[in-house]
Amino acid sequence: ATEAQAQWVLTATGRSPTNIAVIKYWGKRDEALILPVNDSISVTLDPDHLSATTTVAASPAFPSDRMWLNGKEIALSGGRFQSCLREIRKRARDVEDEKRGIKIKKEDWEKLHVHIASYNNFPTAAGLASSAAGFACLVFTLGKLMNVNEDYGELSSIARQGSGSACRSIYGGFVKWCMGKSDDGSDSMAVQLVDESHWDDLVIIIAVVSSKQKETSSTSGMRDTVETSPLLQYRAQTVVPGRILKMEEAIKNRDFESFARLTCADSNQFHAVCLDTSPPIFYMNDTSHRIISLVEKWNHSEGTPQVYFVPV
């Protein structure tokens, strides 16, 4: 490369919101590929409030791939970042910036290194699905930089390999992650059930009861659950399949009462499965318990229930 060519930097920026599961994903049947033991359904939040913003840059001047999260450099050695990078690089296409005289052939992307900078506008690793927004954004933005032409289903399947819940943040509105059957994970991806305009008078209030990092990450927590909880198999095989159907129906009909009842029941069962894990996992604190009691009292004294809780 000439000196001028060696100086160029090509960038792309994207933003992805987090999502809150109303039928929870908890437990993997394949750890490396991130394949779940049950389907899950979530609602994607408005990007103005809880989202990740990621800028990716590529340049022949970069000797290695590097990443900064909220301004601090983090190791890219983890298999999850590498899987996302590898899968997007495989699908990269030619890119041309005529004005700047930059031409990148699809095979050049294998040798070009990237620098990634991402910011979350909410607490990271505190139970607000930062990994969901983060990996969805990473995959989307790398895809934009490398001119990847895959449909959203394919992108969601790549984001899944960064963090399971990330596959749902590729879409807005209500989203279902179909667990899939195949061992290679090719049918484990998200589909949009309805877009964000379908239920636009639904109000979601997020009460951050603690912004401290969780004591048990989702990844290690669900690994312990799979290994030790007898309740998990019952939940995944007997309870969730029926709930998924009822939840899809409630969302389609904007039936708040059924939607909320199912959401609370599923959240409670998720926390029960955590308690059934050895050693037990506690994600709720006294404030979460007080909020739940308050909401239950309110609903029982006001006629038609109006408010529901979903501890996450």
Ligand X SMILES: Nc1ncnc2c1ncn2[C@@H]1O[C@H](COP(=O)(O)OP(=O)(O)OP(=O)(O)O)[C@@H](O)[C@H]1O
Ligand Y SMILES: C[C@@](O)(CCOP(=O)(O)OP(=O)(O)O)CC(=O)O
- The answer to whether residue 25 forms part of the interface with ligand Y (CB under 6 A) is yes
Q: Looking at this protein, which amino acid is placed at residue 165? A: S
Backbone angles phi, psi at 145, to 5 degrees: -60, -45
The answer to whether the beta carbons of residues 116 and 55 sit under 8 Å apart is yes
- The answer to whether residue 295 forms part of the interface with ligand X (CB under 6 A) is no
Q: Which residues contact 206 (CB under 8 A, 6 or more apart)?
A: 20, 45, 49, 50, 128
**Window contacting ligand X (CB under 6 A); options: 128-136, 143-151, 197-205, 266-274:** 128-136
DSSP assignment string, 258-295: HHHHHHHHHHHHHHHHHHTSSS------HHHHHHHHHH
- The answer to whether residue 84 forms part of the interface with ligand X (CB under 6 A) is no
Nearer to ligand X, 77 or 238 (CB): 77
The tokens for 106 are 């699809």
- The answer to whether residue 138 forms part of the interface with ligand X (CB under 6 A) is yes
Residue 259 touches which of ligand Y, ligand X, none (Cβ within 5-8 Å per kind): none
**Minimum distance of ligand X from residue 193's CB (angstroms):** 20
Nearer to ligand Y, 146 or 264 (CB): 264
Neighbours of 108 (CB within 10 A): 14
Nearer to ligand X, 131 or 157 (CB): 131
**Minimum distance of ligand X from residue 217's CB (angstroms):** 4
Among 57, 126, 194, 231, binds ligand X (CB under 6 A): 126
Among 45, 117, 128, 236, binds ligand X (CB under 6 A): 128
**Window contacting ligand X (CB under 6 A); options: 1-9, 133-141, 225-233, 264-272:** 133-141
Cis peptide before 60 (omega within 30 of 0): no
Q: What is the DSSP-derived secondary structure letter of residue 189? A: E
Residue 225 touches which of ligand X, ligand Y, none (Cβ within 5-8 Å per kind): none
The tokens for 125 are 């690793």
- The answer to whether residue 131 forms part of the interface with ligand Y (CB under 6 A) is yes
For residues 44 and 41, what is the distance between their CA atoms, to the nearest angstrom? 10
Q: Which residues contact 41 (CB under 8 A, 6 or more apart)?
A: 21, 22, 23, 174, 175, 176, 177, 193, 244, 247, 248, 251
For residues 117 and 114, what is the distance between their CA atoms, to the nearest angstrom? 10
Backbone angles phi, psi at 6, to 5 degrees: -65, -20
Among 69, 92, 136, 244, binds ligand X (CB under 6 A): 69
**Window contacting ligand Y (CB under 6 A); options: 61-69, 160-168, 226-234, 241-249:** 160-168
Q: Which residues bind ligand Y (CB under 6 A)?
A: 21, 24-26, 34, 40, 129, 131, 163-165, 218-219, 312
Q: Which residues bind ligand X (CB under 6 A)?
A: 52, 69, 118, 120, 124-132, 134-135, 138, 165, 217-218, 312
